[in-house]
Structure formats: C-alpha cells, structure tokens
Chain A
Amino acid sequence: MSVQGATLQTVRVGRMSLGSYIGAMWRYRHLMMHLASADLQSRFRRSSLGVVWAMIHPLAFTVLYSFVLANLFKQEFKDFSIYVFSGFILWDAIASFVNLGAMSIISGAGYLKQAPIPMLIFPLRTCLTVSVVFLLGLVAFFLYRTGMIVFFDVDQPIATIYWLWIIPVVAALFTLGSAWATIVAFINLKYRDAQQMLLILMQALWFASPVFFAREIFDSPNLQLWTAINPVLAFCDVFRDPVLLSRPPEVRDWIVIGAWTAGSWFLAIMMTVINDRKSIHYV
C-alpha cells in the first residue's frame, strides 16, 4: 500500500471546498455503509428472532394501539388497525431520523478523532439504518394488510399500480430525514439540551399530525394553516393515498414535502460547511 517514489500531492490542511467535501464523502462511502450495517447487526445481535423484530415491533404496537384507540374513537378494528399500522411505521421512521440523528455525530467520536472524516457521514449512516428498519416495517405492513383483506374481509384491493408511489415516498422520506438528522446532529453537538427538547417537540408533532388520529380532524378550519404546512401530514397523505385509498398522491402534498426538503437541506448544508471540523472540540 506504499506509494514511495510516486509523485505526491500538496494539500492545504483544514481547508475544504464543497467539491473536496463531496469527494471526501465519496471516499468514505464504504465506511458509512459498513457502519450502517454494523448498527443493524448490533440492534438485533444475540436476539433469537433477530431482524424479524423489526417486523414484529410495529405489528405488536399496531394491535395494542388499535385495540385501545378503536374503542376510544368507536372505529371498526379491522380498517382502523391498517390505518394505525401505516401511520406507525411512518412516524417511527420520522421520529428516529430526528431522535437518533441527534446523537449520530457524537456516536462517531472515536472515528472523528482519528482521521479527518466528513461529519456528514454519521447522520447519513443513522438514516440508512432507519430506512432499512422502515422497509422491514413496510413488509410487515403489507403482510398484515393482506392478511386482514384475505381472512377478515377488509374491503380493499391487495395491491394496485398506485403502490409504485411507495418508491418516491421512501426516497423523499430518506432525503428529508437526512436533512433533519444532520441539522439536529450539529445543534446537539454544541447544545446537549437539544436532544431533550427534541423529545418534547416530536411528541407535540405526533399529537398534531394524523399518525393515529383520523385525517378528517385536520380538515377543520381552525387547523387550515397548520394542515397546509405540516410535513408529517403531507407524508401521511402521500403514503396512504396510494396504499389505502388506491389513488395517486396530491400535488399539494408533494409541494409541501419538496419545500421542506429544499429548505432543510439548505440549512443542513450551511451548518455542515460552517461547523464541520470546527465542531470537533464539542464531540
């Protein structure tokens, strides 16, 4: 691995252009993928059921929440549980992007103090892990929904062409989630209280979004402005429209997601440019 005798490059240490940063991200791509794989293995290591827990977990919570909330809201368990399951896996991913993302750079301290690895690697590593868990939850959702249709006479088609919308939904979820994870990771580096505040913020967002609550509640005139800008609501719509209602997602929801994604990534890039390496002393 020595390159003795070869022509050597001179670099100015500590000065990195955006192009150099992207080049560094590309060089460390293997590290990001391997650490994401390590996270997944670690999550289920020494567990008898292993990765199957990523499917059992949302199923168990769905049954539990549906049983309680169906009685509370006087809903039919069969249809309501499918609605709850779809919201659960979506919300679990969004909350994980934020809550796990907040610790992502801190958790990479051992690596960051050894070599000039781009800090952005670590929020993206976390988001890769969260996305894989979401996909496993999606498989469980599909199996559960199919089971309800086949064995419990739920009146929905098993699958339609509109299910292909899941692909851009997952891509959009990862894109926006990565931006949020990056933002909170840098904030939490300097202000460790941020992680605690995020837990409260996310809980509030849960209450203010149709994760488990009926979508119709958010059509109230009092909630018009919030409904128009809430990205979690938009994601619930773009996911449920094709999967539960067999129709394409509305353009309005994609505009909301697109605006949040563009704005969030602008902020994430600014924070990375300003704080990467300078934040090493807070790690």
Chain B
Amino acid sequence: MSSNVVSTGPRIIIRRAQLDYPLVRDRSSIKAALFGALGFNTGPRIDKKVVHAVNGLSLTINRGERVGLIGHNGAGKSTLLRTIAGVFPLTDGTIEVTGRMQGLFDLGTGFEAEATGRENIMYRGLSIGFTPKQIRDREAEIIGFADLGEFIDLPMRTYSAGMYVRLGFAISTYLEGEILLIDEVFGAGDANFQERAIRRMHELIERAGILVLVSHDLGLMRSLCTRLVWMSGGQMVLDGDPNEVAEVYLRSMKAA
C-alpha cells in the first residue's frame, strides 16, 4: 500500500472498483487430460473464464457508519470486504482507506496444525499485525477468552472445528482498529462460547470508527448497522436505511 495524505477520522472511499479473477479449470484426471490432448472436451462447458466479482462499484463510508453488506451467495460481499482489506487486488478503480483496518475472516483457517494452540497464537497474531511483544502481553487474556483448557498446549490437529474457531476468534478480536471488517463470524464457536463472543463483538464494534459487516442474518444487520448495502453480481443494487433496504431485499427474494 502506498502512503498518501495524513488526516484524522477513519474513512473508506471506493471509486468504480473492479475485481476480475480467472476461473481455474481443474483438469487433474488422467482421462480428462488424455481426451483433452486429443481435442475432446470431457468437462462441462464454461462460457466465461473470468469472474467479475466486484463490478464497477462506488461507495463512501465515513466515520461513525456501520455498513452491512447483504445479497445472495456469490454477490461479491466477502470479496469486496477482502478487497478493502488489501487481500485481493483491484483490476481497476481505486480504494482509499484512512485508518487502521482489522479484518475478521475465516477464523478457522491459517493455523499450523502440528503446532500447539499457544504457538499458533504467536503465528496468527503476527500475521494480522501484532508485534511479538504485543502478543506476549496479551497471550494470557487470549488463552483465557478462548477457554480451551489443557488443549492450548496440544497440537491443533487434535482440535475440533469449533475449537479452531474459538482460538481464531480470541486472537483476532484482541487487535483493535479504527475500521472493523467482519465476515460472518457472529456464529463463531459453540453455544457456550457464543454469548461471550457476541458480547466481545459488540465491545469491538462500539470502539471502532467504522464497521463493515457481511452476514446473512438480517435481524443482526438491522440491529447493528446504520446503513445497508444490497449487492448483486458485484454491483450495488440499493444503499440506504437498514429496514428499508432489508424489506426491498426480502420482497425481491420472495418474488424470485
């Protein structure tokens, strides 16, 4: 990322953002490879080789706004979130971000399976922007919040899926930024953990200057967000009051 103007107040400005990515067709079977070499197509025909995941979208989010992104699967919501975070590169257009970002996506991935939970706290913390000292200072709190007991010192390959998410959630929510990007993490962990997780999320959201949230839970979106953006095909369909947008969205779903 190139550093530009120094200013106060978090802000996200998205101008005609375009993100195209190639469809990678897997021809890993020997049969497909042999017939393909002889000119016979054995796989399903794919008409488009590029997916327009974000398609010329423009959006400005100012300090104090809590924006929810809704839409059907494949609308581009999670892709847009990761593009704002810098994980996916734009094909065209620009995104300018003022403020420190904290992304909460795929909490259960990005761990070293042979390493212990305690060791993975360090690796995961480093990958999301902590320094080693910050991680060591917070390690006890993270372990306490994850509540994994003796499992914290066992290899993560012994963990259940829920335990992966618990640890990922505990690590990720101890870094605070002015801009919070959340992708479907409100259902994290088992029922026992969820109450504490939801409380923790609310604390984070209260402290963040900007929230961008992706979720299929419209009730949650209405309660948390000040603004709802309905996306479809990588484009914005509607942007406005959460209740109004949610109503229009639900009507269109029923009509479809």
Contacts and interface: CB of A to CB of B under 8 A. Distances in A.
B87 to A, nearest CB: 6
A12 B94 contact: yes
A49 B33 CA distance: 44
Given A8-B178, A13-B97, A31-B123, A115 B21 contact: no
Contacts of B90: 13-14
Contact of B128 (A34, A115, A282): A115
A8 B100 contact: yes
Interface of A: 1-4, 7-17, 20, 24, 27-28, 30-31, 34-35, 38, 41-42, 45, 110-117, 277-278, 280-282
A10 B101 CA distance: 11
Given A115-B129, A281-B22, A281-B88, 9 more contacts: A1-B174, A9-B6, A13-B85, A14-B86, A38-B123, A115-B87, A115-B127, A116-B86, A280-B89
A8 B98 contact: yes
A9 B11 CA distance: 10
A31 B174 CA distance: 18
Interface string B1-44: 11111111111000000000110100000000000000000000
A164 B201 CA distance: 57
B87 A114 contact: yes
A45 B155 CA distance: 10
Nearest to B110: A110
Interface string B85-115: 1111110001111111001011001111011
A16 to B, nearest CB: 6
B87 A113 contact: yes
Interface of B: 1-11, 21-22, 24, 82-90, 94-100, 103, 105-106, 109-112, 114-115, 119, 122-123, 126-132, 134, 155, 174-178, 207, 209
Contact of B88 (A3, A4, A31, A277): A277
B98 A10 contact: yes
A278 B92 CA distance: 12
Contacts of A38: 112, 114-115, 119, 123
A149 to B, nearest CB: 39
B100 A13 contact: no
Given A1-B175, A111-B110, A113-B106, A20 B85 contact: no
Contacts of B8: 7-8
B128 A11 contact: no
Nearest to A277: B89
A248 B6 CA distance: 55
B178 A28 contact: no
6 contacts: A8-B98, A13-B1, A14-B86, A110-B106, A110-B110, A113-B105
B85 A115 contact: yes
A34 B90 CA distance: 30
Contact of B4 (A12, A24, A34): A12
